[in-house]
Every structure is written in C-alpha cells, then in structure tokens.
Amino acid sequence: MTSIGIVGTGVAGLHLALMLQQHHVSVTMYTDRTPDQVASGRLPNTVMHHYGTRERERELGVDHWPLADAGWWTRYHSVLGNPGIDYRGNFDDASTAVDYRLYLPRLEQDFCARGGEVQVGRIDLAGLEALSGRHDLIVVATGRGPLAEMFGRREDLSPHTAPQRICLAGLFTGVDRPAPEGVSINVSRGVGELIEFPIVSAQGKVTGLLFEAMPGGVLEVLARTKYDEDPGTFDKLVLGALEQHFPRVFARVRAGEFGLLGPTDLLQGGVTPTVRNDYVQLGSGRFALAIGDCHAAVDPVMGQGANAASYSAFVAGRAILEDVALDEMFCQRVAAQRAEVVQGATQVTNMYLEFPEHLRTLQAACVRNQTVSDAVAAAFASPDKLWRIVKTPERVDAFIRRIEQL
C-alpha cells in the first residue's frame, strides 16, 4: 500500500494530504507547530485564493467561507501621477482572502477528523532521511531552511538573489472598502505598490494592506518600524504613507478609527524570488518532491503563491494516484505537468515588479477599453495564461488587437 509523508502543513501540504485522503492513500503529515500555535501566532502572509484554488477547495470539501462573506469580483488599479491612471477590471469568478491563522488550522482539523495523522516535531535533514524509510515518497512543503535548500536553486528561473520589495503586510480597521468590494492595486512610481483587499479575520472582515516598498526607497521605513515600540506612531506612519503615495485608499480612511488590529496582525520582511529543483534523491534511494514555497517562492505582489502551490499539490496528487511507481520518472512527470503554471506565476510576478514598457502599453489599453481590462483581470487567476499575454511586446500587441476586434 502506497505511503506518503508530507513535511509542512501549509496550503500545498494540506491540499495534497486532503486529496490523497479522499482516495484512501496512506498519508502522514509532519509539522513543527500545532493548529493552536498557528492560530495564536503572528500573521503568516496575506494571500488571495483565485477561482482555480476555490474549485479545488470545493472538491476537497473545505470550502468553509461563503462568497457572501469572503468573495469579491473586482480589481481596481490606480497609478499616482499627473495625470494619474485609474481603471477597474471584473473577474470571471470570485477571489477570496481568509487569514491563514483561521484557514490552515481548520483544514488540518478536517484532515484529522477524517482519520489523518499529523506528527508534531522538528524535522531536520537527518530526520528526513529517516522518514524516507517509512514512506514511498517524501513531499517537502516547507519553504525555508535546510529542507528547502537541499533542492538547489534553478539559476535559469531565479534572476534575483535578494528581495525586490521590502514588505509590510497587516490587518487594519478604519478603511471603507470600495463599492463593489474588490482588490485594489495602487502604484507610486519609483516608490512601490500597495495591495488593498478585504480579508476574513478572527475579528470578522477587515482590510488587508500589503505595502511593497522598493529597497532603499522612502517606504522601506514601514518594514523597519516596530509596532510594539509605539503603536500610535506606527499607525501614523502608515497613515502618512497612504496620504502621500496612495491617495485613492487614503480617501476612504475614517478619521480617528484607522489602525492595526493588534501586535500579531503584522508581517514585515521580504521574499527573494526563487525557483528550486523539483526533486532530489535521498540516501535511501527514494525521492523527495518539492511543492509550494519549497519549490517556487514568489513575491506576494501578484497574489500568485498560494494558488500555484495548490495547483502543484493537485498535479502531484493526480500523479501519485495514476503512476505505478514513485521513482525518478514519476518526479519528472510531475515537474513537466506543473511547469507551465508554476513557472508562469514566477515569471509574470518578476516581470510586474520590473514593469517594462510593454506593460504600460497594456495598462493604457485597459484604461481605454473595458473589455481589455476585464480580460486582463480574468487572466490573473491563470498565471500561465497571463504569462502568455505579457511575455513580449509583440504578444501584448496581439492580445490587445484580438480583444479590441471582438
């Protein structure tokens, strides 16, 4: 009987475990934190789940947050300038955001309630080798430390060796959301970006703010200032950044009510965009497969990381169910089948951080033609499709011509 060991209880690990569990495959998950520790910890990220991920949640029976509470269908875009740029696009289907301190523990509880086994304890490289003696395949779904590093960096897909943005992500009160509700992407050229979106938290629906500061720029202070040292000063600093660089959001702030929810509702730092090798062979002769952030870590500006991780988990899960052996050929098949989507997410995110001239051409088309704007918004749920649109200036021009001729 096939036995799978999954190290890490993030979205990739949990989606894979729940999928295999539905098909009666023996799965053991390994993690260094309990659900209660995750729930009471610091904000781990600010992720959005697009249509494909929501479909997979429904398939897994873990669609616990109704669209009436968590969904939105609109993407707003604003670029500060004189004149500025403002337009909106409509999604084909809703996206959602749920605080992962609610989401991950709930899915782990689902896995355990359905008979799954989770072992809590730190796994190092020696421990991983030991686990390979118990399972036919080890799946590594933790994106940091030696377990991730053992897969090795793919230089051809990892052009950066340092974070391209220094981030502050937090949950805030005192911001009126746009009507209709949606995610707003706000750009201050030469300074950075602000992603604003509704998110379901333990305190109900609040506003998520993700500041993406260019390294060395005026917004980097947001990621370097400690909330705990002076909450009032911290809130004023964030408010000042909104007023100066992101006035469309600042205009919806309620005077006297704005502030971070609490000291744990904050994440500061940066992500070095990295793609690693898909698999390694362990000393036992068996293989370890990388999924999620372990395989491909992306900057959060495009909201692609969790969706690519969920997709990768399902590709791996289907391959486990279909193949006759979990050997190197199996690992190569998984790598090939998920490459277009996962690599598309990394490449399109890296391009949007650089924002070359042909993306400005696409942006101008979105301003003048609502159909183009809607088509681009819809493509955000499919990074492979979006990458096919924006990879070259010629492709952007062809896309615009095709949409405008409809």
Task: Report the CATH number at residue 250.
Answer: 3.30.9.40
Task: Report the CATH number at residue 280.
Answer: 3.50.50.60
Structure-derived torsion over alpha carbons of residues 22, 306, 377, 243, reported in degrees to the nearest 10: 140
- Chain-centre distance of CA 233, in angstroms? 30
At 121-137, the pLDDT tens digits run 999 999 999 999 999 99
* Tokens linked to 110: 């689902």
Residue 77 lies in a domain: no
Instruction: State the Cα–Cα distance between residues 231 and 154, nearest whole angstrom.
Output: 41
Q: Is the pLDDT of residue 1 over 80?
A: no
Expressed as residue numbers, the domain containing 23 is 3-48+98-160+272-353
Residue 146 and residue 12 share a domain = yes
Give the whole-number percent of the chain exceeding pLDDT 90.
Answer: 97
Residues forming beta bridges with residue 171, ordered by sequence position: 208
Which of 237, 269, 301 delimits the end of a domain? 269
Helix or strand or coil: residue 254?
coil
Task: With cut-offs at 50, 70 and 90, classify the pLDDT of residue 271.
Answer: very high
Contacts of 88 (CB under 8 A, 6+ apart): 74, 75, 76, 77, 182, 373
Which of 311, 333, 353 delimits the end of a domain? 353
Mean pLDDT, residues 3-17 taken together: 98
Residue 141 lies in a domain: yes
Residue 339 and residue 382 share a domain = no
Average pLDDT, the chain: 96
Helix or strand or coil: residue 225?
coil
Residue pointed to by tokens 């405008």:
404
Domain count, the chain: 3
Cis check for the bond before 180: say yes or no (omega within 30 of 0): yes
Residue 88 lies in a domain: no
Task: With cut-offs at 50, 70 and 90, classify the pLDDT of residue 406.
Answer: confident
Residue 311 and residue 394 share a domain = no
pLDDT of residue 376: 97
Residue 190 and residue 118 share a domain = no
Mean pLDDT, residues 319-327 taken together: 97
Residue 291 and residue 143 share a domain = yes
Residue 7 lies in a domain: yes
Q: What is the pTM of this model?
A: 0.97
Residue 173 and residue 257 share a domain = yes
Q: Is the pLDDT of residue 143 over 90?
A: no
Residue 216 and residue 189 share a domain = yes
Instruction: State the Cα–Cα distance between residues 205 and 199, nearest whole angstrom.
Output: 5
pLDDT of residue 304: 96
Residue 344 and residue 365 share a domain = no
pLDDT of residue 255: 84
pLDDT of residue 263: 96
* Tokens linked to 38: 């995750």
- The DSSP bridge pattern shows strands 26-31 and 166-173 to be unpaired
pLDDT of residue 137: 98
Residue 366 and residue 393 share a domain = yes
Instruction: State the Cα–Cα distance between residues 361 and 352, nearest whole angstrom.
Output: 13
Task: With cut-offs at 50, 70 and 90, classify the pLDDT of residue 82.
Answer: confident
pLDDT of residue 144: 85
Mean pLDDT, residues 324-351 taken together: 98
Residue 239 and residue 186 share a domain = yes
Cis check for the bond before 247: say yes or no (omega within 30 of 0): no
At 201-228, the pLDDT tens digits run 999 999 999 999 999 999 999 999 999 9
Residue 132 and residue 14 share a domain = yes
* Tokens linked to 337: 């089948």
Residue 104 and residue 15 share a domain = yes
Q: Is the pLDDT of residue 247 over 90?
A: yes
Helix or strand or coil: residue 352?
helix
Helix, strand, coil share of the chain (percent; to 5): 45, 25, 30
Q: Is the pLDDT of residue 64 over 80?
A: yes
| CA-closest candidate to residue 190, choices 217, 226, 209, 172 | 217
At 374-402, the pLDDT tens digits run 999 999 999 999 999 999 999 999 999 99
Which of 232, 251, 269 delimits the end of a domain? 269
Residue 56 lies in a domain: no
Mean pLDDT, residues 308-319 taken together: 98
Which is it for the CA torsion 39, 41, 46, 47, positive or negative?
negative
At 154-173, the pLDDT tens digits run 999 999 999 999 999 999 99
Residue 81 lies in a domain: no
Distance between first and last Cα of the chain? 53
pLDDT of residue 133: 94
Residue 76 lies in a domain: no
Residue 78 lies in a domain: no
Cα angle: 90, vertex 96, 98; to 5 degrees: 155
Contacts of 153 (CB under 8 A, 6+ apart): 274, 275, 276
